[in-house]
Amino acid sequence: MYSVNFISEEYFTDLTVKVSKSYRNTSISNIANLVFSELNSTKKINIDPTIVSQDLVIPNWTPFSAMNWLANRAISGSYKGANYLFYEN
């Protein structure tokens, strides 16, 4: 019998789900919410609003990879010079 400790259900779902979608004229915070919903998680996610609507394509990535990529492109609508970080605790 195997036991895996300290790994969430979302991590296992991330291994099997791929996101391959295009988004037109949408903020990164809205896209991040849509990508997170692909995990079918009951956990709450905290996403600050972003500015600048963009046209983006996520090319067959796992939701966690897509979220990290989106975090690198995000520009905060509330804080000057703020960077984003995606993590799970």
How many residues in the chain?
Answer: 89
Residue 35, token pair as written in the block: 């990508």
Question: What digits encode the pLDDT tens for the residues 24-63?
Answer: 999 999 999 999 999 999 988 888 888 889 999 999 999 9
Q: What integer pLDDT is reported at residue 36 of this predicted model?
A: 94
pTM of the entire structure? 0.82
CA distance readout (Å), 11 to 6, 8, 47, 63, 77: 10, 5, 19, 10, 29
Question: What digits encode the pLDDT tens for the residues 70-82?
Answer: 988 888 888 777 6
